[in-house]
Amino acid sequence: MNILNPSRRTELETALDQLPRSRLAALPTPFERCDRLSAELEGPNIWIKRDDLTGLAMGGNKTRMFEYLLGEAVERGVDTVVAGAAVQSNYCRQLAASCAKLGMACHLVLRKVRGKRDQEIQGGLLLDLMVGAQVTLVEDSGTWEKHGERVREKARELAASGKAVLVARVGDESSLGLHAVAYAAATLELIDQADAAGVRIDQLWLCSSDTTQAGLAFALKYIESPIRLVGLPAMPNPVSPGWTFEECFARTANVCGDVLGLGSSVEAGDITSLTDYVGPGYSILTDEAREALRLVGRLEGILLDPVYSSKAMAGLIDHARTGQIPVDQNVVFLHTGGTPALFAFADTLGLDALLDG
């Protein structure tokens, strides 16, 4: 139903099975119909893929990626992993939990993108510490490239002390293809679930700024699926300067194909990435995202996050309301996680007005 070339699907499965992998995530994640949200919007039919429920440290999409990244690291004898991003980073939270599961040391260099507010031990930072990560908080350097150098500096210090170090993001961007592989695998999982439920997927929406959408894009094109993939980034510009999101996704999708030994021909023109819903910038909540958070919570009992999934859902809701998605289509929303950040962003959610007294 959702695949046009079964032999290509088999080839992809075989290639995935040959990669080193450490089993970390609770898979498959649920595939659920959002009846009340669909009715509220008067179509389309909305389904949700719950990758917020992958397990470790309250879940999220990154755990799938660490199955492959750390699976390879285990084979290489790595004992220490260094990474860095923003203080409320989902990547770093799930990396810290994955390292704990595998008995690796995890060092995080976290950038205070919200100033003093990011010094509060709350949300993702709280969980980083709870699972044993060694955390260094630094002032916002202004660019991801400069922050990457801070991560590499920490890695050099640890290597000099005799540690077998893996430098993860944003210190080393060379493993993006391996990160994307996880969502090539997730594509097959989703299609199996949809086929079992008798659901023809017309569109697949998600928040992605790089590897998640790239892995999906590679797999969907490789197996010749008719599903339309729509991504909405959480930042106005890619981490790689001078590139468009479409170019970045296509490049990473092709590297994903190379990692799998399957090759690829994904082009920028194959990619749909909508930046209309980012708002003022990364980690700055928009009014539309606030509404999406409250609407999905009230109607479905599902918690989105304030940085990523709420902005993507805001885009989906807007496209549904304005008739840009046909009312009879089946749309799957991939929930990539990030829910712990709700606690760190509580004062920006506009919930005070809901209290009595």
CATH at residue 232: 3.40.50.1100
| One domain, residues 280 and 245 | yes
- Which residues on adjacent β-strands are paired with residue 83? 108
How many whole angstroms separate alpha carbon 288 and alpha carbon 309? 12
CB 95 within 8 A of CB 131: no
217 three-class SS: helix
Whether residues 116 and 49 fall in one domain? no
Q: Is the Cβ–Cβ distance between 111 and 138 less than 8 Å?
A: yes
Domain that holds residue 68: 62-167
Other beta carbons less than 10 A from residue 158's beta carbon: 19
Structure confidence by residue, pLDDT tens digits, 43-53: 999 999 999 99
pLDDT band for position 241 (cuts 50, 70, 90): confident
Ramachandran assignment for 35, one of left (phi > 0), alpha (psi -120 to 50 degrees), beta (any other): alpha
Residue 97 CA to residue 232 CA, distance in Å, equals: 26
Can you tell me the distance from the alpha carbon of 317 to that of 16, in angstroms, rounded to the nearest whole number? 34
User: End of a domain among 107, 136, 167?
Assistant: 167
220, 122: one domain: no
CB atoms within 10 A of CB 88: 28
Based on the domain organization, do 242 and 328 belong to the same domain? yes
Could you tell me if 223 and 346 lie in one domain? Answer: yes
Residue 293 within a domain: yes
List residues with catalytic annotation: 89
Q: For residues 235 and 348, state if they share a domain.
A: yes
The tally of domains found in the chain comes to: 2
Domain presence at residue 322: yes
Q: Hey, what are 313's tokens?
A: 């859902």
Least confident of 14-23, 99-108, 136-145: 136-145
Decide: 108 and 135 in contact? Cβ < 8 Å: yes
Rounded to whole angstroms, the Cα distance separating 130 from 144 reads: 26
* Pair 50, 10 in one domain: yes
What is the tens place of the pLDDT at every residue in 274-333? Answer: 999 999 998 899 999 999 999 999 999 999 999 999 999 999 999 999 999 999 999 999
Which of 142, 167, 192 corresponds to the end of one domain?
167
Does residue 28 belong to any structural domain of this protein? yes
Does one domain contain both 41 and 68? no
**pTM for this model (two decimals):** 0.96
Q: Are residues 82 and 105 in the same domain?
A: yes
Give residue for tokens 């197996």: 223
Q: What is the 3-state secondary structure (H, E, C) of 80-91?
A: EEEEEEECCCHH
For residue 103, count other CB atoms closer than 10 A to its CB.
Answer: 8
Q: Does pLDDT of 357 surpass 80?
A: no
43 shares a domain with 82: no
Give the residue carrying structure tokens 């092709």: 254
Residues 257 and 143 in one domain: no
What are 147-160's pLDDT values in tens digits? 999 999 999 999 99
Shared domain check, 239 and 158: no
Q: What is the largest CA-CA distance in the chain?
A: 63
> Domain boundary at 167, 198, 214, which?
167
Residue 196 lies in a domain: yes
Task: Say if 1 falls within a structural domain.
Answer: no
